[in-house]
């Protein structure tokens, strides 16, 4: 902070400097300067002109503030968080009672259905909320926020990754709420905190992948109704073609084949396995690595879509 700048921003000097560009300072003509001196005695200290390079934000700082922007908007919509909680509150008992007896079916493996269901509901919730991530992109494009960002020194990486970081934060909050609710209705976390932690990681990876794909689609189609249709089209099959609410062994053969390549199933399987009494860590790692790889691919696609948006301007 230069001493001169402190003066410039004093309340009484506000009007004086509010809009003065740094750049024209060298071009002030002598006569004008003389005339000005009478009016600007409040700022007697000569100060160096701010140059363009005076302002430079790190990518980390930009990422942080762009993420804060989204989170602040989220906190202003308590209804959204409330609905998420209510949704989990409804889903757990709903599916819980509906399928209570499937655990007795041979091949399911026994145990409490809530034990089985809680990871499924966590991943479903992550999937649902990340699916709509693209809506924020479309609103930003429509409002002109995107163009303003692109004409500013905001790094493109900060712009794209802030949406994903935000989604991870939201998903982690959501998942934690559901895990607590599950615990309240009687879910056993047999392997201590290991299961829930792996579940949070898996849900976050699903959220990143799905949000990145949703953002990519939003940047390409730029229409809310198309995005809504696409998300609706994808989410339910992804849920039901996984072991989120039904054991894989009880699915028809063709569904089992699909489930093997369904990221929702990877996440649920990794979480269930790690939460069991004697986890098969090989299987957990494979599933987590697959999810991470998908997240990288999806983020790359989103970056490509972003480039194509910029080219279309």
> Does residue 40 touch other proteins according to CB under 8 A?
yes
Contact stretch for other proteins (CB under 8 A) within 40-48, 88-96, 223-231, 240-248: 40-48
- Should residue 3 be labelled a site residue for other proteins when binding is judged by CB under 8 A? no
Q: Which is nearer to other proteins, 18 or 79 (CB)?
A: 18
Site for other proteins in 117-176 (CB under 8 A): 142-145, 147-154
Q: Say whether residue 308 binds other proteins (CB under 8 A).
A: no
Q: Which position among 55, 107, 253, 254 is part of the footprint of other proteins (CB under 8 A)?
A: 55
DSSP letters along the chain, please?
A: --HHHHHHTSGGGHHHHTT--GGGGGG--HHHHHHHHTT-TT--S--PPP-GGG----HHHHHHHHHHHHHHHHHT-HHHHHHHHHHHHHHHHHHHHHTGGGGGSTTS--S-HHHHHHHHHHHHHHHHHHHTHHHHHHHHHHHTHHHHHHTTT--HHHHHHHHHHHHHHHHHHHHHHHHHHHHHHT---TTTTHHHHHHHHHHHHHHHHHHHHHHHHHHHH--HHHHHHHHHHHHHHHHHTTTSSS-GGGS-HHHHHHHHT-HHHHHHHHHHHHTSSS--HHHHHHHHHHHHHHHHHHHHHHHHHHHHHHHH-
CB of 47 to other proteins, least distance (A): 5
Of 47, 101, 223, 304, the one binding other proteins by CB under 8 A: 47
Determine if 232 is a binding residue for other proteins (CB under 8 A): no
Determine if 46 is a binding residue for other proteins (CB under 8 A): yes
Q: Closest separation between CB of residue 82 and other proteins, Å?
A: 17
Give 30 or 253: the residue with its C-beta nearer to other proteins.
Answer: 30
Of the two residues 40 and 285, which places its CB atom closer to other proteins in the complex?
A: 40
Is 79 a binding residue for other proteins by CB under 8 A? The answer is: no
Rule CB under 8 A: say whether 62 interacts with other proteins. Answer: yes
- Quick one: which segment of 59-67, 92-100, 167-175, 223-231 binds other proteins (CB under 8 A)? 59-67
# residues near other proteins by CB under 8 A? 72
């Amino acid at each position: 902070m230069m001493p001169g700048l402190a003066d410039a921003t004093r309340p009484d000097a506000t009007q004086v400097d509010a809009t003065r560009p740094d750049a024209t300072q060298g071009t002030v003509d002598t006569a004008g300067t003389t005339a000005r001196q009478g009016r600007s005695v409040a700022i007697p200290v000569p100060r160096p002109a701010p140059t363009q390079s005076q302002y430079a934000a790190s990518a980390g700082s930009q990422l942080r503030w762009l993420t804060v922007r989204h989170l602040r908007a989220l906190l202003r919509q308590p209804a959204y968080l409330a609905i998420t909680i209510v949704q989990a509150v409804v889903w757990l008992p709903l599916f819980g009672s509906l399928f209570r007896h499937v655990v007795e079916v041979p091949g399911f493996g026994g145990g409490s259905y809530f034990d089985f269901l809680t990871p499924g509901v966590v991943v479903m919730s992550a999937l649902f909320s990340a699916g709509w991530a693209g809506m924020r992109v479309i609103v930003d494009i429509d409002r002109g926020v995107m163009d303003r960002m692109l004409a500013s020194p905001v790094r493109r990486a900060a712009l794209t990754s802030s949406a994903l970081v935000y989604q991870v934060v939201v998903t982690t909050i959501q998942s934690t709420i559901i895990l607590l609710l599950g615990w309240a209705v009687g879910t056993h976390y047999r392997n201590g905190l290991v299961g829930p932690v792996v579940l949070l990681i898996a849900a976050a990876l699903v959220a990143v992948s799905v949000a990145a794909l949703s953002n990519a689609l939003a940047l390409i189609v730029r229409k809310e109704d198309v995005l809504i249709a696409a998300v609706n089209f994808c989410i339910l099959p992804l849920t039901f073609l996984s072991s989120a609410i039904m054991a894989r062994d009880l699915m028809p053969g063709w569904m089992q084949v699909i489930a093997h390549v369904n990221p929702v199933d990877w996440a649920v399987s990794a979480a269930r396995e790690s939460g069991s009494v004697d986890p098969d860590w090989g299987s957990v790692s494979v599933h987590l690595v697959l999810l991470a790889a998908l997240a990288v691919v999806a983020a790359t696609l989103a970056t490509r879509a972003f480039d194509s948006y910029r080219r279309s301007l």
